[in-house]
Amino acid sequence: MNKFIIFIFLIIVNLSKTVFASPMVNARTAIVVDFHSNKVLYEYEPDIQIYPASMTKIMTTIIAFDLINKNRISLDDKFVVTENAWRLSQSGYSSMFIMVNDEVSVEDLLMGIIVASGNDACVALAEGIAGSEEAFAEMMNEKAAEIGMTATNFSNSSGINDPENYSTVRDIALMSKYLIEKYPDYYPWYGEKTFTWDRTGGDPIKQGNRNPLLYKGIGVDGIKTGYLAVEKYSLASTMQKETRRIIAVGSGFPNKSFRSSESLKLLNWGFRNTNTYEISKKDQTFFELDTWLGTKNKIQAITKEDYYLTLNKKDIRHLKVFLEYDGPIKTPIQKNQKIAKLIVTNKDEIIKTLPLYASEKIPKVNFFKSLIISLNYLIWGDV
């Protein structure tokens, strides 16, 4: 058998007029991450401690979405608003404006959190789920540990100023990816521009989403703003163009205007200077290989994981992807048998090797047919 190396060429376009210098950002800390490859595209002091303010609410909704998916609560469940939750609507904080003893559905509370950034809605949801905000914060920290947020501690559900409620932009980016990836049915709520609460004892209250980038029509569909006097302005944002998505998180912006413009600068810089390639999709990308003495002459190979690669556009010319296998592959071949390797190199350095597996079972032909094929090969050099 011979060792086959088959090169796969990627189409590379739009390399001109590209600027590769890192952006200058007016923030205390920032990070930009490619959603699919997890590649950090830009970072500035990404691991210094921040007070996440209302970006905390991302985790609050994650807990609720997780319980909904597990059928432990439903969107139609109603929680009674306590005086503790109601007080936050009377204290000058962002609010949904719920009233004491209101029975509010989980869906309305979630919309009040996501769109109106209601601190009162956070407490009502936390108490309804866990009995107390303290117990809910424990759930938040358990989920943070599960996600891999190693520099984060949550002490409340809303992000109201507390020295024990802290994180980093790196952890917030990780949490944001988890939200988008794990809850595709609910994440679109973060792109809603308005929410109207039909409150008790008054006219309905319509509030707009506090994320200014949602209104620009540029592909931004989330995620969450934040503000605390000690932290200044913060924003976890994300932009999608076609199938690619980038996440940016910044904190310590000096004002609202910079929060918007600098976050947009980070997102645009990521798209302008880098490309992400879908090298292989688990059980969906097929690579055709030759077989020997089988009931089929070809077999399709697959990977058991998704693999995306993000590169600076100036480095794309050095990218090579190829298959390596000893072939034609002798039959019988069992389904899920490892039969080849997918190798990705950049500047002649191997950056990823993915095993390839048979997508189906291929039996060996019977003895007489095997003999005929072998003789034909000896005589004509062709199977």
CATH number for position 215: 3.40.710.10
DSSP code of 364? B
Q: Does residue 190 share a domain with residue 45?
A: yes
Whether 17 is in a domain gets the answer no
* Residues 229, 294: Cα–Cα separation, whole Å: 71
> Domain range spanning residue 336?
2-12+280-380
For residue 18, is pLDDT > 60? no
Q: Does residue 130 share a domain with residue 74?
A: yes
Strands of 349-358's sheet, edge to edge? 2-8, 319-327, 338-346, 349-358, 298-302, 287-292, 329-330
Q: Please answer whether residues 307 and 280 qualify as being in contact, where contact means their C-beta atoms are separated by less than 8 angstroms.
A: yes
Q: Does residue 197 share a domain with residue 306?
A: no
Residues in the chain: 383
Please name the residues in contact with 339: beta carbons below 8 A apart, sequence gap of 6 or more. 289, 299, 301, 325, 329, 333, 356, 357, 358
Q: Which stretches of the chain are assigned E, i.e. beta strand?
A: 2-8, 29-34, 40-44, 78-80, 103-105, 194-197, 205-208, 220-228, 232-241, 244-253, 274-280, 287-292, 298-302, 307-312, 319-327, 329-330, 338-346, 349-358
Q: Of 306, 296, 283, which is closest to residue 357 (Cα–Cα)?
A: 283
- Asked which of 216, 237, 253 is the last residue of a domain, the reply is 253
Q: Does residue 182 share a domain with residue 53?
A: yes
Pairing of strands 287-292, 329-330: parallel
Q: Does residue 249 share a domain with residue 206?
A: yes
Q: Does residue 147 share a domain with residue 288?
A: no
Give the pLDDT score at 380.
Answer: 58
Secondary structure of residue 1 in the 3-state scheme: coil
Q: Does residue 288 share a domain with residue 249?
A: no
Give the pLDDT score at 294.
Answer: 79
Q: Does residue 58 share a domain with residue 85?
A: yes
Whether 260 is in a domain gets the answer no
* Residues 220, 268: Cα–Cα separation, whole Å: 11
Q: Does residue 370 share a domain with residue 311?
A: yes
Rounded to an integer, the average pLDDT of 239-262 is: 97
Average pLDDT, the chain: 90
Q: How many domains does the chain have?
A: 2
- Give CA angle at 353 (352, 356), nearest 5°: 140
For residue 5, is pLDDT > 60? no
Catalytic residues: 54, 57, 117
Residue 108 neighbours by CB distance under 10 Å:
23
Least confident of 94-108, 184-198, 240-254, 285-299: 285-299
Residue 260 neighbours by CB distance under 10 Å:
20
Residue 124: φ, ψ to 5°: -60, -40
Pairing of strands 220-228, 205-208: unpaired
What pLDDT band is residue 21 in, cutting at 50, 70 and 90? Answer: confident
Give the pLDDT score at 87.
Answer: 87
What pLDDT band is residue 14 in, cutting at 50, 70 and 90? Answer: very low
Helices (H), the chain: 57-69, 83-87, 106-114, 119-130, 133-147, 169-182, 256-273, 367-380
CATH of the domain at 322: 2.60.410.10
Give the pLDDT score at 20.
Answer: 57
Give the pLDDT score at 293.
Answer: 79
